């Protein structure tokens, strides 16, 4: 196979123009070939000459001869190594493995275990995706929270009600990243996610995808239980024996995968009581910021709208004078700020986009890293308590509604009394308030300094009527459940997995960790 890198074409190019360019680069304009796009990125440094930059894999006759003839550093012969799931081990299993949680980590772990013949049981505290969607929309409309089925909990996990971003910075020598994207495409995602620089799905597409994956798992011998909250684990001689569900039902278990997500605070508390080793970890907190999407498009594209590029996305970072870093996170072009609460009397926000990314506003988290030294208190769950306190203040400030503040008022530390030109795009009710009052001083000051700095890079970013809302507190897990070289906790048979356990950050990396755990189980145990 021949790989062509740095192949550039205008963003408005056709399929025929791409194929013509491939033939020209290979100096074989009339030769027959097949190709696969491996990567597409955008170069818009020159606003009037925006280009897509491609990496293309080509199959063509006489590949070695052609590569030698071309003599181009951007053209090389490659050997692709396909992903291979390991063969089953020999240790017997008394009962099917149990996967706790059906977010990306649990769902992908379950899919690969089912495919390999292990007949996994997936336990999910929340509802099926379609029921969950109705429950969440009811909460956004009426403010009535279901603590077990909400933006954080239910089939698909927290990522279902997000932008559905699939890019990851995790290094992937084993091909798990491509496996994740392939599974998504097979479940109904557009093929473009296989090569886009910043692939995304959107909430409306994700719901159908997770449902399809569930049906596939069931067809391969796996099973699901919804409204099945794990309330206890029972051990015997340092090994897993039973799982308690909904405080009453006992399920025998030899192996379980803890894919509980970053917001399963009651589960963390149960695991801590049961003696699982865990430690606090750094995460980030802050606010959401909203701007007109047309303003972001104009700055990044040089035009308010581009039919070939869609809504523009940004990524910004700043090192503050106080030594802290502030950065954008989970940027949602053409998106919505959503009430993402999962506990009564506490309020958290997140960002979400539909596939079309066609709301009038862009939003992103403006967040600052906090470490165990910031948390106060004692014990491995003190990061959870730090989150809870911020969310309690946010809930009280808005009385259950999302508190919103103009950036100009944020800088003056005063309550906003009227909107400017920027009108919120939100799921859930909002109220004008002094959002800054919720944050620790160091975090609040860092966000102000960061936004002013970002205004020097993106025109209008620091405009007075940019909208801030909060609190953004669920960026990643505040705890890490420790695991050894065999990916086990200190309890035999218990495998911490994904973002909630502290080993991933985002949909793709969580899914990859789920595959990794499935591989580990397969290498050790015999299937059914």
- Answer yes or no: are the C-beta atoms of 286 and 365 closer than 8 Å: yes
User: 213, 205, 193, 27: which is closest to 115 by C-alpha?
Assistant: 213
What's the token pair of residue 312?
Answer: 């523009």
Residue 32 pLDDT exceeds 90: yes
pLDDT, residue 203, reads 87
Work out the pLDDT band at 165, boundaries 50, 70, 90: confident
Cα separation of 254 and 231, whole Å? 17
User: From the CB of residue 388, how many other CB atoms can be counted at a distance below 10 Å?
Assistant: 18
Across 301-456, the runs of DSSP E, i.e. the strands, are 317-319, 325-332, 336-339, 349-352, 361-370, 402-406, 426-427, 430-432
Phi, psi for 9 (deg, rounded to 5): -145, 150
**Residue 237, burial from CB neighbour count under 10 angstroms (0-12, 13-18, 19+):** exposed
- Answer yes or no: are the C-beta atoms of 375 and 443 closer than 8 Å: no
User: 126, 106, 124: which is closest to 114 by C-alpha?
Assistant: 106
Cα separation of 419 and 430, whole Å? 12
Residue 162 pLDDT exceeds 90: no
Residue 167 pLDDT exceeds 90: no
Cα separation of 271 and 76, whole Å? 51
Q: What is the mean pLDDT of residues 187-194?
A: 94
pLDDT, tens digit, for every residue of 1-23?
A: 999 999 999 999 999 999 999 99
Cα separation of 240 and 254, whole Å? 6
What is the DSSP track for 88-104?
A: P-SB--SS--EEE--SH
Q: What is the mean pLDDT of residues 381-388?
A: 98
Work out the pLDDT band at 352, boundaries 50, 70, 90: very high
Residue 173 pLDDT exceeds 90: no
Residue 372 pLDDT exceeds 80: yes
Domains of the chain in start order, with CATH, are 2-77 (3.30.70.2700), 98-279+478-524 (3.50.50.60), 282-472 (no CATH)
Return the DSSP state at 294. H
Q: Which residues contact 416 (CB under 8 A, 6 or more apart)?
A: 404, 405, 406, 409, 432, 433, 434
pLDDT, tens digit, for every residue of 463-491?
A: 999 999 999 999 999 999 999 999 999 99
Cα separation of 409 and 433, whole Å? 9
Q: What is the mean pLDDT of residues 218-224?
A: 98
pLDDT, residue 100, reads 98
User: 284, 331, 325, 319: which is closest to 472 by C-alpha?
Assistant: 284
What's the token pair of residue 116?
Answer: 């390999």
pLDDT, tens digit, for every residue of 253-275?
A: 999 999 999 999 999 999 999 99
What's the token pair of residue 287?
Answer: 């606010």
CA triple 153-476-206, angle to 5 deg = 45
Q: What is the mean pLDDT of residues 222-230?
A: 98
* Cα torsion angle, 328, 332, 338, 341, sign: negative
Phi, psi for 76 (deg, rounded to 5): -145, 155
pLDDT, residue 29, reads 86
Which residues lie across from 289 on neighbouring strands? 364, 468
How long, in residues, is the chain?
A: 528
Mean pLDDT rounded to a whole number for the chain: 96
Q: What is the mean pLDDT of residues 320-332?
A: 95
pLDDT, tens digit, for every residue of 426-442?
A: 999 999 999 999 999 99
pLDDT, residue 172, reads 85
Residue 195 pLDDT exceeds 80: yes
Q: What is the mean pLDDT of residues 47-71?
A: 93
- Answer yes or no: are the C-beta atoms of 285 and 390 closer than 8 Å: yes
Work out the pLDDT band at 500, boundaries 50, 70, 90: very high
Residue 163 pLDDT exceeds 80: no
Q: Which residues contact 45 (CB under 8 A, 6 or more apart)?
A: none
pLDDT, residue 513, reads 97
- Answer yes or no: are the C-beta atoms of 107 and 210 closer than 8 Å: yes
pLDDT, residue 81, reads 86
CA triple 157-160-165, angle to 5 deg = 115
User: 114, 116, 53: which is closest to 84 by C-alpha?
Assistant: 116
Q: 80 in helix, strand or coil? A: coil
Cα separation of 313 and 364, whole Å? 9
User: From the CB of residue 453, how many other CB atoms can be counted at a distance below 10 Å?
Assistant: 17
pTM, rounded to two decimals: 0.95
User: 39, 124, 133: which is closest to 352 by C-alpha?
Assistant: 133
pLDDT, residue 169, reads 78
Q: What is the mean pLDDT of residues 72-95?
A: 94
């Amino acid at each position: 196979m021949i790989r062509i890198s740095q192949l550039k074409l205008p963003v408005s190019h056709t399929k025929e123009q791409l194929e013509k360019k491939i033939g020209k680069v290979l100096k074989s304009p009339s030769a027959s070939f097949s190709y696969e796009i491996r990567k597409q990125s955008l170069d818009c440094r020159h606003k009037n000459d925006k280009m897509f930059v491609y990496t293309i894999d080509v199959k063509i006759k006489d590949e070695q001869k052609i590569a030698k003839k071309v003599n181009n550093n951007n053209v090389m012969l490659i050997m692709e190594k396909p992903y291979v799931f390991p063969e089953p081990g020999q240790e017997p299993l008394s009962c099917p493995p149990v996967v706790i949680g059906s977010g990306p980590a649990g769902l992908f772990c379950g899919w690969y275990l089912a495919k390999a013949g292990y007949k996994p049981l997936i336990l999910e505290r929340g509802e099926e995706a379609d029921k969950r969607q109705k429950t969440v929309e009811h909460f956004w409309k009426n403010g009535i929270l279901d603590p077990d089925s909400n933006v954080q909990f239910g089939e698909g996990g927290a990522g279902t009600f997000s932008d559905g971003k699939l890019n990851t910075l995790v290094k992937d020598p084993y091909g798990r990243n491509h496996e994740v994207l392939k599974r998504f495409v097979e479940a109904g995602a557009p093929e473009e996610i296989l090569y886009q620089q910043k692939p995304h799905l959107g909430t409306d597409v994700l719901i159908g995808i997770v449902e399809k994956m569930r049906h596939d798992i069931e067809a391969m011998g796996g099973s699901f239980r919804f409204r099945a909250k794990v309330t206890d684990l029972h051990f015997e001689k340092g090994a897993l024996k039973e799982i308690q569900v909904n405080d009453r039902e006992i399920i025998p278990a030899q192996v379980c995968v803890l894919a509980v997500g970053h917001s399963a605070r009651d589960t963390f508390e149960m695991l801590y009581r049961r003696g699982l080793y865990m430690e606090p970890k750094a995460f980030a907190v802050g606010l959401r910021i909203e701007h007109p999407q047309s303003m972001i498009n104009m700055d990044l594209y040089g035009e308010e709208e581009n039919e070939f590029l869609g809504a523009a996305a940004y990524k910004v970072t700043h090192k503050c004078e106080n030594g802290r870093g502030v950065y954008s996170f989970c940027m949602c072009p053409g998106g919505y700020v959503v009430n993402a609460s999962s506990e009564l009397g506490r309020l958290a926000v997140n960002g979400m986009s539909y596939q079309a990314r066609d709301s009038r506003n862009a939003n992103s988290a403006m967040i600052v890293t906090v470490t165990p030294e910031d948390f106060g208190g004692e014990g491995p769950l003190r990061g959870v308590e730090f989150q809870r306190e911020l969310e309690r203040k946010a809930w009280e400030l808005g009385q259950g509604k999302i508190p919103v503040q103009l950036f100009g008022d944020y800088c003056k530390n005063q309550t906003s009394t009227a909107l400017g030109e920027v009108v919120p795009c939100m799921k859930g009710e909002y109220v004008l308030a002094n959002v800054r009052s919720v944050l620790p001083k160091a975090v609040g000051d860092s966000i102000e300094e960061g936004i002013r700095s970002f205004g020097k890079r993106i025109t209008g970013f620091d405009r007075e009527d940019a909208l801030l809302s909060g609190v953004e507190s669920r960026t990643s897990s505040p705890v890490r459940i420790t695991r050894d070289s065999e990916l086990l906790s200190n309890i035999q048979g218990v495998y911490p997995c994904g973002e909630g356990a502290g080993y991933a950050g985002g949909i793709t990396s969580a899914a990859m960790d789920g595959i990794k755990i499935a591989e580990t189980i397969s290498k050790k145990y015999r299937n059914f």
